Structure 1
Amino acid sequence: MTPEADKQEEIMKVKINGKSHVKPSKKLGRRECRLVTFDLPYIALHYNQKLLVYKGNEYEDMVGKLKDGLGAVLEDFYQLAGKLAKDEDWVFSVEYDDDTEGVEVVEANAEWINVEDLDAEVGASTLKELIPYNGILNSEGLHRPLLSVQLTKLKDGLAMGLAFNHAILDGTSTWHFMSSWAQICSGLPSVTVMPFLDRTKVRNTKVKLHHPPPDQDPQNASSNGTADAEHVDPPLRERVFKFSESAIDKIKSKVNSDPPPDGSKPFSTFQSLAVHMWRHVTQARQLKPEDYTVFTVFANCRQRVDPPMPESYFGNLIQAIFTVTSAGLLTMNPPEFGASMIQKAIEMHDAKAIEERNKQFERSPKIFRFKDAGVNCVSVGSSPRFPVYEVDFGWGKPETVRSGINNKFDGMVYLYRGKSGGRSIDAEISLEAGAMERLEKDEEFVLEVK
């Protein structure tokens, strides 16, 4: 067995020591807020998982501080301490009352693992025992906590695994909560930016959302035995590609070297990196020139809706934006061809387009499935704008930030601000194993990230 395999075997032996629940520190009474059109498509996806790894040798003190801070921050972010509910018409809401269990906190031990063992390039499957709620659907929030936190004692630190119910919040809200929790733990008397909790201010349409139970959900078919026995998805591999500031500048300069003649504005850092990944992943997949390929990005709509919502809006306020072309056109044209398509699709997704998307969903509600991201897709979630390496609870910034195994599929990409800061970006990419092997050997791609 290789050293890497030995290490993975060790990680699989994480010992659960106990489980407790944390509620808001003071009684709040009964609160209820209906889920809105922006929330509902994610009911049948899995809980959104994150992992933050910290150095430190005072595990008990760290856990105590985290629990105390969690109780305090939940006074303002109380929806995370609630449960999902649905009425007789299948209208979903998030409810909280003082008798609700609250946030689940699991304490675990893996003292034979060093912080450095959890290097950012380790596959998410290796890390899964450090993060709760693997394979759990958001619809299970009817019966489970909406946030579960696993605090695992390492040899020289703490691994904080989190599972957030994606039906009640997106990435912007996730990191707003995490930053606020860290502020409280670091000694601030209150949250500096209060969450905007009234979802009906952005959409006030009641939507009846019938969805199949988990054992009838096609998304789960491959894991519960109901799938076609002849169809087996190829194994996925995950890797984090670290783009330094100089690599990002080089990619952006190359894409902007021949500006479009129509006077379009320069391509952004995101658009430049996006087309770089889209082109090289498409090549690694060895698609035929006539095969379609789709680029999907989940865009923050807080400033796109009319009227605009504050960045502190708590909930889901994202929509998927799709760009499609043939593999031949994408890879045989210069990178500005694909970048221009991505730029135009993002610019066109204005308040009018968002309104039409919402009306379409309300006429015929459709929960989101992985396959809806598009054929031969590269689908980007998370954002390098999120302050993931600034989440300091009082013992330093995280050494590693990762996502878990949930909501991973061929072509899924999570972008994080690089640990080195500045303009650096980490791209966590999941691909079919053969395509990943070819991507790693693609000198034009890998050269950029050295």
Structure 2
Amino acid sequence: MVNILVISDTIVRPESYENARDRVKIHLTPWDLSFLRTEYAQRALIFPKPDPETRMISRLKSSLSAALKIFYPYAGRLVKMDNEDDETRTFFIDCDGSGVKLVHAEAVSVLVSDVLEQANGTNVPNYWSEFFPANGVKSWEGVSKSLIAFQVTELKDGVFIGFGYNHLVTDGASVWSFFKTWTEIFSTGRKKFPPLSLCGWFLGGIDYPIRVPMSETVPSSPVAGPVALSLQKKIFRFTSRHVSELKAKANGEAVGSDDNLVISSFQAVLAHMWRSIIRNSDLNPEDVIHCKLAMDIRQRLNPPVQKECFGNMVGLATTTTTAGEMLSNGLGWTALQLNKTVGSQTNEELRRFAENWVKNPKIPNLLVVNNSLIVAGSPRFNVFGNDFGWGKPIAVRGGPGIAGHGKILAYPGTEKGSTEIHTSLWSHVLDKLLADGEFLQHVHVVCV
């Protein structure tokens, strides 16, 4: 039995918060509102243990306060307003300085190796969720809950920093930018940073705040227990050599489709994962399959918004085919379909999506969906560049939440050029995948 002791649960507010009359109101876009029913995304970084003289917790609080002065939207709250005239609701972020949750806990009997081995394995330990601060919290609960929350758990030989964030206000790119700033303030004392640039993009002619039918804002039903029990998690690591081999193979097989075409490393790795999962899913050839890739749209708008702007600028690019068509073609064909889908996310297409969504707002339920891969994260995120000064992260991990079959998290590995793929799959699919020689040929380590 693992004893996780909560030492403190506090709210950290921005340093030197300005007068209330200077508060910023952030209106939400169709991409933001699409996340209204989702749970907070939860992630974690695991660090070596600092020297006792570091005064870790007090300095984490003070540096977090300074970071929140820069990234002030995190310290705000979601505001919901009912429009009785047409039975709709509107939402916006009020940057009111309410602050963020920071939990300090201890699990002195747990080693870093224990956490990594158990979290990598088929059976996630029953105490895993206790390392995270936002379990089961939905985005719409940001009216009273912290928009980002942290838990610092001291292990026997390391530090586990788990966090959860509201996707209505931020995406992964902004979260990791914030984390980098926090670590720099902690390690160097530097507090002078460029002012935050908000994305805040809206189509001309769209009235905001956007009105969403009340029926679309009703909380969705939870996933049934037996469904969750039949899902298992596993992490696959692709070395830089295997990433290079897959990229070369995919581009070689796609030769002739477009002389200027370059299939990226991630598209090649993702194509290999998708084909392998489908090959082991016992689907009929005519079954329709999807790969839904969350992608940054900042530089795809015209004019583009600032590359480093703060907000949630995630679009969902969906590739659709059939199981038979995919498996009758090779890696290059699958990677090419992903490449084409990513390329199709143009300014015109994104504007069309926004215009149509505003006319008929639909907020999807986060349910387990067969035959679909849903891919989040990115190998480009600089997760291992976050150093508080007592050592770089040992590992990055995804937290608990509604996990459906085909949920994929992608992150860089510790080796330069490598990629980690965190998966949630039906147990029978995972068992077959782990015995698939064609798949394992391009995976250096399967965590067990």
1:236 to 221, 231, 234: 231
TM-score, length-scaled by structure 2? 0.90
Kindly tell me: are residues 193 and 427 of structure 1, through their superposed partners in 2, closer, same or farther at Cα, counting changes over 3 Å? farther
What is the alpha-carbon distance in structure 2 between the residues aligned to residue 17 and residue 292 of structure 1?
A: 50
Structure 1: segments with no counterpart, 5+ residues: 1-8, 224-230
Residue 198 of structure 1 deviates from its aligned partner by 5.2
Kindly tell me: are residues 202 and 300 of structure 1, through their superposed partners in 2, closer, same or farther at Cα, counting changes over 3 Å? farther
Say which SS state the counterpart of residue 303 (structure 1) adopts. helix
Aligned residues of 1:44 and 1:138 also touching (Cα < 8 A): yes
Paired positions, count? 428
Say which SS state the counterpart of residue 177 (structure 1) adopts. helix
Q: Corresponding residue for 2:351?
A: 355
Q: Corresponding residue for 1:131?
A: 132
Residue 222 of structure 1 deviates from its aligned partner by 3.0
1:42 to 35, 47, 67: 35
Residue 302 of structure 1 deviates from its aligned partner by 0.3
Q: Corresponding residue for 1:29?
A: 19
1:250 to 245, 256, 270: 245
Could you list the per-position Cα deviations for residues 139-166 of structure 1 after superposition, in whole angstroms to 9, with x for gaps in the alignment?
A: 1111111111111111012110101111
Q: Which amino acid aligns with 1:241?
A: F
Aligned residues of 2:247 and 2:265 also touching (Cα < 8 A): yes
Q: Which amino acid aligns with 1:63?
A: I
Q: Corresponding residue for 2:5?
A: 15
What is the alpha-carbon distance in structure 2 between the residues aligned to residue 414 and residue 260 of structure 1?
A: 29
2:61 to 62, 67, 73: 67
1:326 to 319, 322, 328: 322
- The answer to whether 1:376 aligns with 2:371 is yes
What is the alpha-carbon distance in structure 1 between the residues aligned to residue 31 and residue 387 of structure 2?
A: 30
What is the alpha-carbon distance in structure 2 between the residues aligned to residue 257 and residue 287 of structure 1?
A: 28
What is the alpha-carbon distance in structure 1 between the residues aligned to residue 157 and residue 215 of structure 2?
A: 44
What is the alpha-carbon distance in structure 2 between the residues aligned to residue 147 and residue 258 of structure 1?
A: 44
Residue 250 of structure 1 deviates from its aligned partner by 1.4
2:313 to 312, 317, 320: 317
Aligned residues of 2:148 and 2:163 also touching (Cα < 8 A): yes
Kindly tell me: are residues 232 and 187 of structure 1, through their superposed partners in 2, closer, same or farther at Cα, counting changes over 3 Å? closer
- The answer to whether 1:427 aligns with 2:421 is yes
Say which SS state the counterpart of residue 69 (structure 2) adopts. coil
Residue 179 of structure 1 deviates from its aligned partner by 0.8
- The answer to whether 1:276 aligns with 2:272 is yes
Kindly tell me: are residues 81 and 408 of structure 1, through their superposed partners in 2, closer, same or farther at Cα, counting changes over 3 Å? same
What is the alpha-carbon distance in structure 2 between the residues aligned to residue 29 and residue 364 of structure 1?
A: 38
Q: Corresponding residue for 2:49?
A: 56
Residue 116 of structure 1 deviates from its aligned partner by 1.8
Q: Which amino acid aligns with 1:103?
A: V
Structure 2: segments with no counterpart, 5+ residues: 84-88
What is the alpha-carbon distance in structure 2 between the residues aligned to residue 245 and residue 173 of structure 1?
A: 26
Aligned residues of 1:37 and 1:362 also touching (Cα < 8 A): yes
Aligned residues of 1:259 and 1:266 also touching (Cα < 8 A): no
What is the alpha-carbon distance in structure 2 between the residues aligned to residue 212 and residue 395 of structure 1?
A: 49
1:261 to 256, 277, 298: 256
Aligned residues of 2:408 and 2:421 also touching (Cα < 8 A): yes
What is the alpha-carbon distance in structure 1 between the residues aligned to residue 113 and residue 330 of structure 2?
A: 40
Aligned residues of 1:36 and 1:205 also touching (Cα < 8 A): no
What is the alpha-carbon distance in structure 1 between the residues aligned to residue 270 and residue 214 of structure 2?
A: 33
Q: Corresponding residue for 2:436?
A: 442
TM-score, length-scaled by structure 1? 0.90
Kindly tell me: are residues 92 and 125 of structure 1, through their superposed partners in 2, closer, same or farther at Cα, counting changes over 3 Å? farther
Identical amino acids, percent of aligned pairs: 28
Q: Corresponding residue for 2:196?
A: 195
What is the alpha-carbon distance in structure 1 between the residues aligned to residue 433 and residue 195 of structure 2?
A: 43
What is the alpha-carbon distance in structure 1 between the residues aligned to residue 56 and residue 122 of structure 2?
A: 27
What is the alpha-carbon distance in structure 2 between the residues aligned to residue 241 and residue 193 of structure 1?
A: 38
Q: Which amino acid aligns with 1:140?
A: E
Q: Which amino acid aligns with 1:416?
A: Y
